[in-house]
Structure formats: C-alpha cells, structure tokens
Structure 1
Amino acid sequence: MTMTSTVHTAADKGPSLLRQVRALGPIALGNMRQAHWSSLTIFLCVMLVVIILNAFLGMSRGFAAASRSAGSETVAVLIGRQSQSEANSQISREQIELLAGAPGIVRGASGAILSPELTMTVSGRKIEDGARTNSTLRGLGPNGLALRDGFRITAGRSFTPGRYELIAGRRLTESVRNSRVGDQIMLAGRTWTVVGEYELASAVFEGEYLADIGAVQSAYNRDNQYQSIRARLDGTTGMATLKAFLAHDPRLDLDALTERALYHDQVKNTSNLIMYMGWPLAGILSIGALAGVFNTMLIVLEGRRHSLRVMRLLGFSNAAIVLASVMETILLALAGGVAGTLLVWLAANGAPATMIGSGFTTINYDLRIDALAFAQSLGLAAFLGLLGGSLPTLKSVFQRRA
C-alpha cells in the first residue's frame, strides 16, 4: 500500500507543477502591470540591445542579399591575375586585341563583343547633409552600355563618344549633388556635363557615372590604360571555354569571373566584418542590460516578500514560484525584443545605405531586417530574460527558505 502511494505521488509531481505554474500565470501578468516602472525598465533594457543588434544585422543581411542578387551570371569580367578588384587591376591593349578572337564570348560582325573599362574615384557632396562621399566614374567601350542588364535611359540622353559628357545612375541622382541632367561638375580639371540618367536591373550598380572611355583616359592622362574587360558569355559553357583559352595563352595573364561572383567577392569581407563587430558589441551591451534586469528583479522580489510567503502557505512549491517569476521576466524581455525589432524594421527596412568598398568607392545596398534577424533578436531577448530573471528569483526564493 505504501509503495503504491509513493509511485502515485511521483507520477503526479510533473503535472502538479505545471498546474501550479498555470495558476500563477495570471498573478505574474498582474505583477507586470502593478510594478509598471520595473517592467518598463526591463523592457527598455532589452529593447535598446536589440535595436543595436538589428542595426548591424540589417547592414549585414542587406549586404548578403545584395551580393546574391547583384550582377549578371551571363556577363564575364576579366581583371589582372591575382587582382582583388578592378581598382588594382591593369590590362594592356595587346591583351584586349588577343581577346577579340577568344571563344566562349558572344561575337558580332567585328569579333567578340567586349567593353574595355577604366574606373576613377571621384568625390562629391551628399544632398542630405553636404558631407563628402566617393563615387565611381567608369569609362566604357562602345559595347559597354549593351553589357549592362536592364539598362535604360530615364532622363536626357546617352553620352557622346569623345566628349566630356556622362550619365548618372538613379542612386547618384537621389543622393549626390550636381548629378542631375544639365548639371556640370569638375573632374580632373575638366568640366563634365551630366546629359542623362539611367536605371539598371540591379540598383546596386546605379551609383556610378558612366562616360566614354576615351574621354576618361584623356582627362586623367591614362592613355591606353585599362582595368577590366566585360564580355557577354556564349551559353552555359561560355565561362569554362573562356577560362581554358586564358590558361593556354601566357600573354593573357587574366582572371575571369562572372559579374555576380566579382561583386560577391568584393562585399563578402565587408559583410563578415559587420557581423564580427555587431555581435561582440551586442554582447557587451547585453552585459549591461543583464545587470539592469538582475538588479531590477532583486528590487521587485524584495518588495514581494509577503506575496511569496502567502504563495507558499497556499501550497505553491518553490519551483512553481521560480518558474512563474522567470516567465514574467522572459515575457517582458521578449516584448522588448519584438518592439526593438519592429522599430528598426519600420524605420530602416529597405532603406538605401552606402558603405565604403574597395578602392574607396561607395557601395550601394538596402538595409534588410528579415526572418533570420528577427529570430536572432528574439533569441537574444529570451536569453537575457531567462538569465536575468532566474538568478535573482532563485536567490530570493531559496535563500529565504533557508
């Protein structure tokens, strides 16, 4: 008889604890409303940490999304071997002529369709606050515009070869002064006229001035200097065929990548750097938030000594009391996490942003708060609520019992 009773009690222990926690749930919610200043403190501590974290996550996720979608898989970019970007690449006139007969590239009446290109970093002023910002002036060969996916003139006209004329991307016209049709800017001691505005399939590349390569070379005294070559690949095997051709000719000391792969290589290190900065900073701020939650709960529980004693007299176990108090803290922390994420999402999701990339040029992208960023924010909030609530509750409940 005694053995049966013991087994029955052990079997009922779990469900009994759950019933006690459910019974204490409304009391915990009432405590949150009653101790509104303490609840607000916990809420704000967690919300501020989550806002900072989401600011970095938004930049990193925006960079990652841009690198996955920007650029074309059917356009090859050739740069000097071992060059990390166009900025430190050099290509000779002889190499351009050799590529005119290269296989794997779409051909026209005069040979392979290529666009030798040269980029220069130019300085301007932001429309918003007048701060300095760097942009790219890109000189294009005759086929350069045709090799830009989705290219179309939205205002004005295209530049005239041989003249100091340029066209500005939509991102430039929206953010940089003197970049609209009819404006004139001084570059390399020459007066350039903006004669058109353009859009592309990928807005990431709309932060450049485009001009005739001969005019850029003349203005900057870079005659017969080139940094990259763009070419339209011929079918799905075009890249492999082109790379095999480059490997068999020692004069073509060049690397070939798709436009998308080149852009991804340029931004992935920046994206990783943002993440490496964001999480440690969020961790440091979390220590402060954790201290705030911990001290707040200690003060709150000190004021609930009589309530805790009454709960024990009513038959509630210490474990149930601890779980109810921790549940209260976790709910407040999660509410702060949701609020912080929503604030950043409403204020910044999809907003255009810029970052200094390779060659000190400006990389354009959009901030992005997605499901992964939301899940990471809630995970951090729940952790802060769990740790910040359980330690003072255990200390208060079991210390008083002793």
Structure 2
Amino acid sequence: MNKQWLWNLLTIVLLVVGLVAWIMLPWQGVLAVAVALALWLFLTRQGRLALAATGIGIASLPQRWGASSVIVVGIAGVVAVLVAMLSMGRGFQTTMNSTGNENTAIVLRGGSQAETNSVIMRDQVPLISSLPGIARDGEGRPLVSPELSQVVNLVSREDGNDVNAQFRGVGELGWAVHDSVKIVEGRKYGSGLREIVVGQGAQKQFRDLDVGSTLTLGNQQWQVVGKFASGDVHDSEIWTDAQTLASTYNRGAWQLVSVRTEGKAGFEQFKAAMAGDPRLKLDVETTKAYYAKQSGQLNQLLTILGTVIGAIMAVGAVFGALNTMYAAVAGRAREIATMRAIGFRGLPVVMAVMLETMLLALLGGILGGLLAWLIFNGYSASTMGSNFSAVVFQFKVTPELLWSGLKWALGIGLVGGLFPALRAARLPITTALRAL
C-alpha cells in the first residue's frame, strides 16, 4: 500500500514538473518535439500503426462528440481566462513602457520611488535649469518643467463611483518638454486661469470632462477647454497650469521636474552634473526607465494571479479530460481489443489515444485563444497606478500570449490523455473480445 501511494505521488510530481517544463519550453523546443514526433509517426512501423489507430479513433468522434466537447470547452475556458488575465498585465505594461523616452528626464527627491512622495524646493529649480545637457527652445530657454501631481476624485462613467484621477500641474515649457502630448480638440489652458485640458483616456473614463464642461476641484470651478492625446499614461490625466494648481491646493514646493535633454549624451551629462552638485540631493532617470519601472510590479502580480487561476482551472480541465477519455476507452474496448488482436502493440494504442486527446486539446486551445482575442483585445480598462490614481489602458492579446495559451492547452491534453491511454494499452484482449 505504501509503495503504491509513493508511486502515485511520484507520478503526479513528475507530471507537474513535465507540464511546467513544457509550458516554459521556447518555440524552438516545441518545434523540435513536433518534428521528432512527425518523423517517428511517418518513418517507423510503430508510428504508422499509431497513425492508423488514431484515424480510427478520429473517425468515431462524431458518435461521441457530446462527451468529446467537454474536453474542448473545458480547455477553451482555461485558455480564454489565462490569456485574458495575462493580456491585462501586458496591456498595462505596454502603456507604461510607451510613456517617455530617452531624451526626457524626470527629477525626484533622493530616494523617492514615485511623484507622490517627492518634494523639490522652488529654489532648486533654477539650479537644475543651469546644469549642462539640457535642451533649449528657440528663445534659448532651458526646457525644464516644474510640476505638481494632485490626486482628485472624479465620477466614473461606468458605475457612478468616485475614482482617483491624476491632476497634473505643468510648467510654462511643459508642452515643449512633453512633445508627444498634442491637443486634439479645443485649446490649451491659459496661464493663471482655472482652465484644464483632459486626456482622451480620462475623458472616456470619467464624467463631466467634455470640452466646455465645468467641474469642481479643490473647492474651485474649473473650465474644460481642451482634450489632448499622447498614446501613453498621460492620456489618463488632466492638466493645468502648475502655478494655478499650487495656489489652489496651497503647495509651496514642486514634486518633480521634467527636463528635455540633448539626446542620450545630454542626459548622461545632465545626470553627472546633478550628482556632482552637493546642493541637489535629487535622483534623475529617463522618463522611459521611470515609467517602465512603475509597471513592473503590477505586471508581475497580474502574471502570477493569471497563472494561479489558470492552473486551478487547468486541474478541472484535466479531470474533465480524464473522465471523457476513460469513458471513450471503455466504450471502445472491443475496438481496441480487436486492434490488439490483429497486431497493434501497446505503444501504437497509447499514442493513438494520446494523439486523439491532443487534437481535442488543440481545438480547445484555438477556440479559447480566439475568444480571448475577440472579446478582450483592445478592451479599455483602468487600474491604480503608482500615484494611487487611475491609469487607463487597453488589454493586449499578443501572439506570444496566444502561443502560451496553446501550450497550456496541449499540456492539459497530454496529462488528461496519458492515464486513459495507458489503460487502453493494458486492456486485456480476451476480456474485451468476450463481449463481441
């Protein structure tokens, strides 16, 4: 009894390890496995027998399509949920990674991980502006934008609940620093006026942000005068003049300074000069690096969560495949016994059942991936960013995620078909033939 228990436990452990190794296998490895299997099937006698036995099993699928559809639908559900969960993280990461570039730097207080916990004194801004490596506009002014980040409550269009939004105060030269931000409707806000422009993502997410609308923020009335588009995380924000925002919320210091540098060399020069000035105990990095870092933890969390949920659902799909294939083997007992009696050995029978299950799993994987792509690809959602405000992004179902889902499907089919296949190979010929 103990030996049998240990053997079963070892079998389960080996299956889990093998399944994990299969899912992590790169496409080159999968291609090598597929080529090796194809060569064995077409160039060996046992392989050709396995193909013949598989053909017999597939031909009988219409007679038991109801039971077989359990495998297809179950695996399709696993793949659809898994790909959808992972596409959420991939979409958020893509939005964050598309924000910023190598020519724009963000300056924060030393040790600050995000804008919300950073403080930069006003008298430090002229010192920052005097450093080398900073690009200048046509009038010779350094492209430096002292900014504020204020979290405000706006009403969600979807359910009417209050949601945190990013209200950013931008310096006079902020539009030149953030040159990817373009007005697509209306106009820019005026300096010293309580006027705001809204990102296209924020306008879709929140109420009362249409151009011409008025809303109350900080006990003051603000006029929406324009809408902008940037194609990145700034689409989720609303912007105004930095000094106006500071006076509204009684801010005596800035939170960050955005700087446009003279290319990569200019950034390195600016960073070195910043580190060499003892009056400036500030951190500086490119905006691309900063926003990419902000997305890392959430993407990792969503990946882990999606994998765990997918694994739990995969267990259910495996049991569904096991039940279905055990029933199929029992129902085809005479057929399998007849094949064994006329010369089919155990290996071709095992491979026939396995190939049949893998085919059903492949159909389920394709169906699940197609559903995930049709329903979720490009679907807009929002989540909380590093500044505790909503970031609007789109789910991104990539070929890489679809490929991962397909490998999960084939892995489930492999595990679900293995034990029924072994049972079919060990089926006593004489016992089965007595039923003829």
**TM over 0.5, yes or no?**
yes
1:190 matched to 2:220: yes
Deviations 1:144-189 (CA, angstroms, capped at 9, x unpaired):
1121223322222111111111000111122211011111111111
| Aligned-partner Cα distance in 1 for 2:388–2:161 | 15
1:141 matched to 2:187: no
In structure 1, stretches of 5+ residues that fail to align are 1-12
Which of 300, 309, 315 is matched with 2:337 structurally? Answer: 309
The aligned residue for residue 3 of structure 1 is: none
The aligned residue for residue 22 of structure 1 is: 51
The aligned residue for residue 326 of structure 2 is: 298
**Offset, 1:209:** 0.5
Is this contact kept in 2: 1:159–1:195, CA < 8 A? yes
| Aligned-partner Cα distance in 1 for 2:348–2:338 | 13
For 2:245, the aligned partner's letter is: V
Which of 49, 71, 74 is matched with 2:100 structurally? Answer: 71
Percent of aligned pairs with the same residue? 33
For 1:151, the aligned partner's letter is: V
Is this contact kept in 2: 1:67–1:264, CA < 8 A? yes
| Aligned-partner Cα distance in 2 for 1:88–1:312 | 73
The aligned residue for residue 209 of structure 2 is: 179
Q: Which deviates the most, 100-109 or 366-375?
A: 100-109
SS where residue 391 of structure 1 aligns?
Answer: helix
For 2:173, the aligned partner's letter is: N
Is this contact kept in 2: 1:67–1:268, CA < 8 A? no
1:80 matched to 2:106: no
The aligned residue for residue 394 of structure 1 is: 422
| Aligned-partner Cα distance in 1 for 2:141–2:183 | 27
For 2:117, the aligned partner's letter is: N
1:119 matched to 2:155: no
| Aligned-partner Cα distance in 1 for 2:67–2:342 | 26
Deviations 1:59-95 (CA, angstroms, capped at 9, x unpaired):
1222333343321221111111111111111100121
Is this contact kept in 1: 2:377–2:397, CA < 8 A? yes
1:368 matched to 2:396: yes
Superposed, 1:146-225 pairs within 5 Å as 146-200=176-230, 202-222=231-251, 224-225=252-253
For 1:342, the aligned partner's letter is: L
Number of aligned pairs? 388
SS where residue 142 of structure 1 aligns?
Answer: coil
Is this contact kept in 1: 2:202–2:392, CA < 8 A? no
**Offset, 1:111:** 4.4
| Aligned-partner Cα distance in 1 for 2:51–2:254 | 72
Q: Scaled by the length of structure 2, what TM-score is found?
A: 0.85
Which of 48, 53, 57 is matched with 2:77 structurally? Answer: 48
Note the aligned Cα RMSD (angstroms).
1.8
For 1:381, the aligned partner's letter is: A
| Aligned-partner Cα distance in 2 for 1:307–1:252 | 82
Q: Which deviates the most, 295-304 or 60-69?
A: 60-69
In structure 2, stretches of 5+ residues that fail to align are 1-41, 432-436
Is this contact kept in 2: 1:77–1:259, CA < 8 A? yes
- Closer, same or farther: CA 67–152 of 1 in aligned 2, 3 Å: closer
Superposed, 1:315-334 pairs within 5 Å as 315-334=343-362
Is this contact kept in 1: 2:144–2:260, CA < 8 A? yes
Q: Scaled by the length of structure 1, what TM-score is found?
A: 0.92
**Offset, 1:232:** 0.9
**Offset, 1:106:** 1.3
**Offset, 1:117:** 0.2
| Aligned-partner Cα distance in 2 for 1:14–1:104 | 66
